[in-house]
Copies of this chain bind each other. A is one copy, B any other.
Amino acid sequence: MTGGPRWDRRRLLRTGAAAFGGAGAGWSTSALVAGSASADSASGSASGSVAAPTVIAPSPGAETVPPEGNHQPGVVTPPQAHLALVGWDLHEDATVEHLARMMRLLSDDARRLGQGEGALADTEPELAAHPSRLTVTFGFGPRVLRDLVPASRRPALAELPEFSRDRLRPEWGQSDVVAQICCDDPLTLAHARRMLVKDARAFADVRWIQQGFRNARGTLSQGTTMRNLMGQVDGTVNLAEAEPDFAPLVWADGTSGPEAFAGGTFLVVRRIRMQLERWDRVDRVGREAVVGRRLDTGAPLTGEAEFDEPDFEATDRFGFPVIDPASHIARVRHTTPEERFLRRSYNYTEPDDTRSSGEDSGLLFLAFAADPARQFVPVQQRMDEVDRLNDWIVTIGSAVYAVPPAAAEGGYVGQALLEGTGEQP
């Protein structure tokens, strides 16, 4: 729709900024913003010519996420500040060709938007100009795998078993396709979300959109564990990419599963509503006992610092365990190295309690794992049996997705599953 010389100037400026260490330079980049400012406020009269970039400092708004090999971005990517999780159901008569066309379109949108370019036929390309580490991560639900992917190429995605404490609401339930859209800038995110929803409309209906947030970019230093709306440090025990276990625990490898899914992973989505009003009645000592960690530092009650190993055998002077065996930390702690996965959760809040049955706030628990049945389900089952935290949380939404490997050059996400590698459809 637009294109042309104006965009060329902007692209040049961005490339200039990248050459100075901007794009992808990570969290330590200083937040000087001359780069994007020039792009935004430069007079139209300079069109086509670029003044010598005497001062071009990288802007966090200009940062892009580099390709992750054969993995989709948004998994290993340090979590951005904002999330829009879009769930679609394919139209009733959708065929594999329909889904392929949809994924080709959305993959192209994701690639362009992630580079700070408007999508094809973008109606507001200026709103894409600050990518701010935008990533889009696509996944397929069980119905897509069953109906549209041949058995020979089908990854083994088991739906989650029923958990007795779940109070699932259909409006937050399993969808056919998901896009995890993450971005440090809320305006860039809103635009990307709208473009993807528009482009999917011919093929699918939006089932839900779940918005989430963490701290703003730059509020915390890299690696600081986020806090949830209960005030707890949330996600201390997480897989780090540097660990040797990371790859086998996160990425499908094509030996135990189909080659077409190698480099993919699985996503578990749980919408966990917090009963904050009732949590308010619990004092700090009580809260720390429920969780098994100190509220201020996140340290286990037997330790001094957040990442100290909890000592579940330690007792107090009365002989009682310092960490209650029914506490959250005791119940969800992995009992084998396999019971670990990559957490990438976001807070959510729908604060307007005048139009619903009350404030709906909590955690959008997002977990990536090579095998959720082996890595996630046992943990969730222990929590379902006993966990003192259950008195204040309830899961109201649940879904699982197969997250295909990255699109091949010139291809689209999911192509190897839908068309086969080198096979004819």
Contact across chains for B126 and A211 when beta carbons are under 8 A apart? no
Chain B nearest Cβ from A230, distance in angstroms: 7
User: Does A207 sit within 8 A of B, measured CB to CB?
Assistant: yes
Spot the interface stretch: A99-107, A327-335, A352-360: A352-360
Question: In chain B, what residue has the closest Cβ to A27?
Answer: B33
Other CB < 8 Å A-B pairs besides A42-B297, A43-B299, 6 of them?
A30-B30, A61-B220, A132-B219, A187-B347, A190-B347, A211-B351
Closest 8 CB pairs of A and B: A124-B231, A31-B31, A61-B219, A37-B221, A30-B30, A43-B305, A186-B213, A31-B218
Contact across chains for A41 and B306 when beta carbons are under 8 A apart? yes
Q: How far, in angstroms, from A220 to B220 measured CA to CA in the complex?
A: 20
Query: Of residues 46 to 80 in A, which have CB atoms within 8 Å of B's CB atoms?
Result: 59-61
Residues of the B chain whose Cβ atoms lie less than 8 Å from the Cβ of A188: 215, 219
User: Does A123 sit within 8 A of B, measured CB to CB?
Assistant: yes
Cβ proximity bits A155-193 to B, threshold 8 Å, 1 near / 0 not: 000000000000000010000000000001111101101
Query: Of residues 190 to 232 in A, which have CB atoms within 8 Å of B's CB atoms?
Result: 190-191, 193-194, 197-198, 205-209, 211, 213-221, 224, 226-227, 229-231
Contact of A32 among B28, B44, B306 (CB under 8 A): B28
Contact across chains for B218 and A352 when beta carbons are under 8 A apart? no
User: Does A315 sit within 8 A of B, measured CB to CB?
Assistant: no
User: Does A275 sit within 8 A of B, measured CB to CB?
Assistant: no
Contact across chains for B186 and A126 when beta carbons are under 8 A apart? no
Q: How far, in angstroms, from A353 to B205 measured CA to CA in the complex?
A: 10
Q: Chain A: residues with CB nearer than 8 A to chain B?
A: 1-2, 6, 27-34, 36-37, 40-45, 59-61, 81-82, 84, 123-127, 130, 132, 171, 184-188, 190-191, 193-194, 197-198, 205-209, 211, 213-221, 224, 226-227, 229-231, 276, 279-280, 283-284, 294-297, 299, 304-306, 347, 349, 351-355, 359, 361
Contact of A41 among B41, B209, B224, B361 (CB under 8 A): B224
Residues of the B chain whose Cβ atoms lie less than 8 Å from the Cβ of A213: 186-187, 190
Q: How far, in angstroms, from A231 to B32 measured CA to CA in the complex?
A: 24
Chain B nearest Cβ from A294, distance in angstroms: 7
Chain B nearest Cβ from A322, distance in angstroms: 14
Q: Mind listing 13 A-B residue pairs with CB under 8 Å?
A: A33-B218, A33-B219, A43-B304, A44-B304, A59-B221, A61-B220, A81-B186, A123-B231, A125-B231, A126-B296, A186-B214, A188-B219, A218-B218
Q: How far, in angstroms, from A314 to B231 measured CA to CA in the complex?
A: 59
Question: In chain B, what residue has the closest Cβ to A294?
Answer: B44
Q: How far, in angstroms, from A416 to B283 measured CA to CA in the complex?
A: 37
Q: How far, in angstroms, from A355 to B171 measured CA to CA in the complex?
A: 9
Q: How far, in angstroms, from A213 to B6 measured CA to CA in the complex?
A: 27
Contact flag A123-B221 (CB < 8 Å), given A208-B354, A294-B44: no
